[in-house]
């Protein structure tokens, strides 16, 4: 298996093929700033080819017994697990994230996604409703057809498998578009799918840019289901493209997540958890807590200890085992981070840690895109830095005086993806969690995942829910059959 493929081709009808236009884009390694492979720069003609393959494959796959589908998905999970180290290395090179993170988080979670949905389809229940003495109703759930699955660069295999696994588990065909910034693990997944015996055409991957391939997928009349994860601005375009065609759409979008620390929290745990939730994957996880609120009586102690702990995070070559903070995904993202750090200072913020790109990490990474953990204090809650998604290792810390005030702060944003609350007071935990407008609230933890729970955002963070039963329902069409008694 190649982990650093020279040319990343499309995977259509079970074959790796050239894009119709014959064009490729450079695939840049974030840690070095240099191109290390080429990725297909496809367009709507490649999406058309994938749709032809998908229509053909749907005939058999949609009728394949669940037990057979399950076996193939379990095989895919086993094979990714067999090659975990290769996947982790490829993901680290492609994204800039520390190898240790790819090895312990991204790839194992991708394996878990395939296993979960492979077995979930063996345990579904059918619904029946009796209408008095009039009728008997039963509900069938059929695969919808062809699902367009569009994902971002921050957790490439993990997020794509979170969509592919449920879509094909229930008998749909997948046409996936990974971010062209991070295409390698999707390419490797196609090799695994071939080896696992997934029938040709059930999984198709079309590489390329959002405006070319993503837009062609959302506009294609035969792709009737769209699961999209990415930024809110792009999500709006996806929604606009899908609405006139009445597509079923799930949108998992951006966040500006509050992380609330009460003075009665176990501060040691809150600090350790907050360092993780602020800076994991260089802050490039949609669920990162980028706005930290600390009760005033604990504020100074928290800021001092949190800053001290964050300052020890080792920024380094992602492939170095000791590295805890790798590279930012590309120059555009690095420039965006720098822009917001400058803006924060114009808005009156003080830099308590970081704030400037570090000196070259080593010779290999001389031209890489690095930025250290950065902590900003003294900003008003309503300023742009506190309202707009930065998606990097930059967080703000703000004191608060009481529950009501911090709930107001937490909700004072267009986003509503996730939040964390740190307190030892159980009643307060429930009370606050119920009033925060986010799809997930973690209490005394962060990023704990149970695949059975609904996952998604409120407000500008998205529409629809993924995970467990929600995903199985999203990718199927419910039909009621009503028989008169
Ligand atoms: P993005 O720019 O919105 O891109 C996401 C995907 O959409 C990429 O594959 C992109 O292709 C594609 N795309 C771009 N324009 C499109 C169009 N007009 N039609 C269809 N597809 C199009 O997001 P990103 O920068 O890759 O990822 C970061 C964002 O994702 C952040 O906002 C983060 O919060 C969010 N995110 C959300 C979740 C969640 O679960 N809620 C999880 C992870 C990330 P290109 O790569 O070519 O642009």
pLDDT tens across 311-320, in order?
999 999 999 9
For a ligand 1 pocket test, name from 205, 234, 256, 449 the mutation site with the most ligand atoms within 8 angstroms of its C-beta: 234
Alpha-carbon span 230 to 154, nearest angstrom: 9
For residue 159, report the distance from its CA to the centre of ligand 1, in Å: 11
Residue 152 near ligand 1, beta carbon < 6 Å: yes
User: Quick one: 229 exposed, middle or buried, by C-beta within 10 A (0-12, 13-18, 19+)?
Assistant: buried
Q: Quick check: helix, strand or coil at residue 430? A: helix
**Whole-model pTM above 0.75?**
yes
Which atom of ligand 1 has the smallest separation from the CA of 180? 46
Residue 156 near ligand 1, beta carbon < 6 Å: no
439: DSSP letter: S
Q: Which residues pair with 130 in a beta bridge?
A: 136
List the structure tokens of 135.
């009728």
Residue 106 near ligand 1, beta carbon < 6 Å: no
Residue 313 neighbours by CB under 8 Å, 6+ apart: 275, 279, 324, 325, 372, 373
Q: Quick check: helix, strand or coil at residue 244? A: helix
Q: Which residue, 92, 83, 10, 80, is CA-closest to 49?
A: 10
Alpha-carbon span 365 to 96, nearest angstrom: 11
User: In this structure, which residue's CA is closest to atom 34 in ligand 1?
Assistant: 254
- So what's the pLDDT on residue 5? 59
The two beta strands, 225-229 and 291-295, are unpaired
- So what's the pLDDT on residue 6? 82
One-character DSSP codes across 82-96: HTHHHHHHHHHHHH-
The two beta strands, 127-131 and 135-143, are antiparallel
Q: Which residues pair with 291 in a beta bridge?
A: 258, 396
For residue 229, report the distance from its CA to the centre of ligand 1, in Å: 6
- So what's the pLDDT on residue 2? 43
Domains located in the chain, CATH noted: 7-253+461-484 (3.40.605.10), 258-450 (3.40.309.10)
Kindly give the residue spans of alpha helices, DSSP state H, lying in 96-178. Answer: 99-101, 107-120, 156-169
Which atom of ligand 1 has the smallest separation from the CA of 181? 46
Residue 229 near ligand 1, beta carbon < 6 Å: yes
Check if the beta carbon of residue 27 is closer than 8 Å to that of residue 209.
no
Which atom of ligand 1 has the smallest separation from the CA of 208? 47
Alpha-carbon span 301 to 294, nearest angstrom: 10
pLDDT under 50: residue ranges of the chain:
1-4
What is the tens place of the pLDDT at every residue in 98-124? 999 999 999 999 999 999 999 999 999
Residue 231 near ligand 1, beta carbon < 6 Å: yes
For residue 150, report the distance from its CA to the centre of ligand 1, in Å: 8
For residue 253, report the distance from its CA to the centre of ligand 1, in Å: 8
List active site positions: 252, 286
């Amino acid at each position: 298996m190649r982990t650093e493929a020279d040319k990343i081709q499309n995977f259509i009808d079970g074959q790796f093929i050239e894009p119709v236009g014959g064009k490729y884009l450079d695939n840049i390694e974030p840690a070095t700033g240099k191109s290390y492979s080429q990725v297909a720069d496809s367009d709507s003609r490649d999406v058309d080819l994938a749709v032809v393959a998908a229509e053909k494959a749907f005939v058999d796959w949609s009728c394949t017994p669940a037990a057979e589908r399950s076996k193939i998905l379990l095989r895919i999970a086993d094979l990714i697990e067999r090659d975990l180290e290769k996947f982790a290395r490829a993901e680290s090179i492609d994204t800039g994230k520390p190898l240790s993170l790819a090895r312990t988080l991204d790839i194992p979670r991708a394996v878990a996604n395939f296993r979960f949905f492979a077995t979930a389809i063996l345990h579904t229940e059918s619904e029946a409703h009796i209408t008095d003495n009039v009728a008997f109703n039963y509900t069938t759930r059929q695969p919808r057809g062809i699902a367009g699955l569009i994902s971002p660069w921050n957790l490439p295999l993990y997020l794509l498998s979170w969509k592919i696994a449920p879509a094909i588990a229930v008998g749909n065909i997948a046409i996936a578009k990974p971010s062209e910034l991070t295409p390698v693990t999707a390419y490797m997944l196609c090799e695994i799918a071939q080896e696992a015996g997934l029938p040709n055409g059930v999984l198709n991957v079309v590489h390329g840019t959002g405006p070319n391939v993503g837009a062609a997928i959302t506009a294609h009349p035969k792709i009737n289901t769209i699961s999209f994860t990415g930024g809110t601005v792009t999500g709006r375009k996806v929604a606009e493209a899908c609405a006139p065609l009445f597509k079923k759409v799930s949108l998992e979008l951006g966040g500006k997540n509050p992380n609330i620390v009460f003075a009665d929290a176990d501060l040691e745990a809150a600090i350790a958890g907050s360092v993780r939730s602020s800076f994991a994957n260089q802050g490039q996880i949609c669920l990162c807590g980028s706005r930290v609120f600390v009760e005033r009586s604990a504020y100074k102690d928290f800021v001092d200890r949190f800053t001290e702990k964050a300052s020890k995070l080792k920024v380094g070559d992602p492939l170095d085992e000791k590295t805890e903070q790798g590279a930012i995904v590309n120059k555009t993202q690095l420039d965006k981070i720098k822009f917001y750090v400058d803006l924060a200072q114009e808005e009156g913020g003080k830099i308590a840690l970081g704030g400037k790109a570090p000196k070259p990490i080593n010779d290999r990474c001389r031209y890489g895109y690095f930025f250290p953990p950065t902590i900003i204090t003294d900003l008003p809650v309503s300023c742009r830095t506190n309202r707009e998604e930065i998606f990097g290792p930059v967080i703000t810390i703000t004191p608060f005086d009481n529950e009501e005030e911090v709930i107001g702060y937490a909700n004072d944003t267009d986003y509503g993806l996730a939040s964390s609350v740190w307190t030892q007071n159980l009643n307060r935990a429930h009370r606050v969690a119920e009033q925060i407008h986010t799809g997930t609230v973690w209490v005394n933890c962060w990023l704990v995942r149970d695949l059975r729970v609904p996952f998604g955002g409120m407000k500008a963070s998205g529409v629809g829910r993924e995970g467990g039963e929600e995903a199985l329902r999203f990718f199927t069409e419910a039909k009621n059959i009503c028989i008169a008694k």
